[in-house]
Structure 1
């Protein structure tokens, strides 16, 4: 009697079969979009003037999409837009100022975009901050939670009319493997009474990014809006600006001579997953899932600590709890 082996079917935390592609960690954003025509599509990329955000913007524009780079650094954003337009030979990339550390600025950005009458097909919530000393937003929220989640939440909710007009809009919220550092600190998310831990706060903010995708899909998939989240992977960009050279050496990010170690990928590679989620046929009409390396991630496991998603960042119940907490924080 012969025996046969059945290929293991990998599942996410919800028991769904994982979505996969032919791409991997080495894929660049342009490769992930090869053969795809985005002419007529509109996209907003927060933090699109530098680093991974710039590569996301460039790849989408080269595929034909009209891009709005939303950035607090206006000069850098304008220079990036001009560079992309020169490369494509089209004037399809524009810039708009946004300061995600100000809820008023986030709302004003959304209001101005909606007033333009343009639909929004793709929203990439990419901008972020990592491991600063204790700083606060204009409204007094801890800076990482404020920029990485609350500012994006306010902006995204303000953009709902444009997203509805996109008729199948896709939202990508950029999380991180750093979400493993903390669940949401529901009792004191702004560190008003507890001692501040910058890495714990970063983890909380990136868990919030992941849960926001679940909550947004649950509430607005009926309007044709689907949100997914992702770990872009690590690249040495301006995100590390709050860490000293010695801290980066201690973390193993650079060697004793200051050279970047092999654990890091290029910004072009780290941009691939976002543009793939935002355009791939495999993710059309799909929401609330967590991706990395252009494939859906399985559950986090201690044997593979730099991959996968923790259960608390993939929980619909936690997403509802965060949504309620966010509404309270914004009303404060």
Structure 2
């Protein structure tokens, strides 16, 4: 891949260093799940560079605490909170309606659920793909006009869709995405949802690139955050994520390092006007298998798969462009 796009930085660079040279004064951003983990570090970095950032969360108290912490640190009120529960599509509609057509420069679909027991959303969708993809699909479509209004001369508005290395575990099961008839397997379900996140970026970019909005998928890396809430300690030890004493394995990133590729996707000059990519370690990902345990599977960037998922998403959410 001779024309591979990179930030030219170490994969372990903090998000604050990625955004350091950027002046985001007067620009707006929404970060879903921005109260904890890599989400709060994404908010912190963007707000420190001058952006007005809305933390979109289902737990308002948690969001208010995160916003207060960041605003106190900056000495300026740049972080605010909006109520959004991606597992309940009615709240997604309400959030997008409340935002309206106000210019939006960056939408970072960061929130997610991983390897949870078999449960279903308020709209009877399997919890992982329902939250991670369908909720974010409806949000992105609902804010599309705002993103178009956020595009400026010489500078696109950007949607960032967080995927995962876990996408390798499963493509989309078109026959039964919600496990109505097949046995549930939590990691397969997570992988399917993360493949959907990557395909959503491909589909969104295809529709809005010429209207000034680009979209890319991001693999943030291995980070210990509340995302692991459903995983027993014994399982994480068995997978090699930590040792018996709870020491995290070498190669894992801090939350600030894990937020760096999301922030680069949102502001990086190297990505201006570029979309439909899968990014990891502050670079365009190589194909899966070129390097150990990294890269993107071909089905996660497949244009036909993206179109098929878009049609399914419109049917599922009842929202059509």
Q: TM-score, normalised by structure 2?
A: 0.96
Match of 1:262 in 2: 250
Secondary structure of 1:241's aligned partner = helix
Match of 1:225 in 2: 213
Query: Whole-Å Cα distance in 1 between the matches of residues 72 and 293 of structure 2?
Result: 37
Match of 2:84 in 1: 98
Unpaired stretches in structure 2, ≥5 consecutive residues:
none
Query: Whole-Å Cα distance in 1 between the matches of residues 236 and 281 of structure 2?
Result: 24
What pairs up with 1:284-295 in 2 under 5 angstroms? Answer: 284-295=272-283
- Shift in Å at residue 305 of structure 1? 4.1
What pairs up with 1:1-332 in 2 under 5 angstroms? Answer: 10=1, 17-114=3-100, 118-167=102-151, 168-301=156-289, 304-331=291-318
Q: Is the 8 A contact 2:7 2:268 kept in 1?
A: no
Q: Deviations over 1:88-114 (max 9, x none)?
A: 111111000100001111111011011
- Shift in Å at residue 307 of structure 1? 0.8
- Shift in Å at residue 328 of structure 1? 2.0
Query: Whole-Å Cα distance in 2 between the matches of residues 249 and 87 of structure 1?
Result: 35
Q: Which moved more, 1:258-267 or 1:269-278?
A: 258-267
Q: Deviations over 1:130-156 (max 9, x none)?
A: 000001000100000011000000111
Instruction: State the number of aligned residues.
Output: 315
Secondary structure of 1:163's aligned partner = helix
- Shift in Å at residue 237 of structure 1? 0.4
Q: Is the 8 A contact 1:253 1:263 kept in 2?
A: no
Q: TM-score, normalised by structure 1?
A: 0.93
- Shift in Å at residue 73 of structure 1? 1.6
Unpaired stretches in structure 1, ≥5 consecutive residues:
1-9, 12-16
Q: Please give the root-mean-square deviation of Cα atoms over the aligned residues, in Å.
A: 1.2
Kindly name which structure, 1 or 2, has the bigger radius of gyration based on alpha carbons: 1
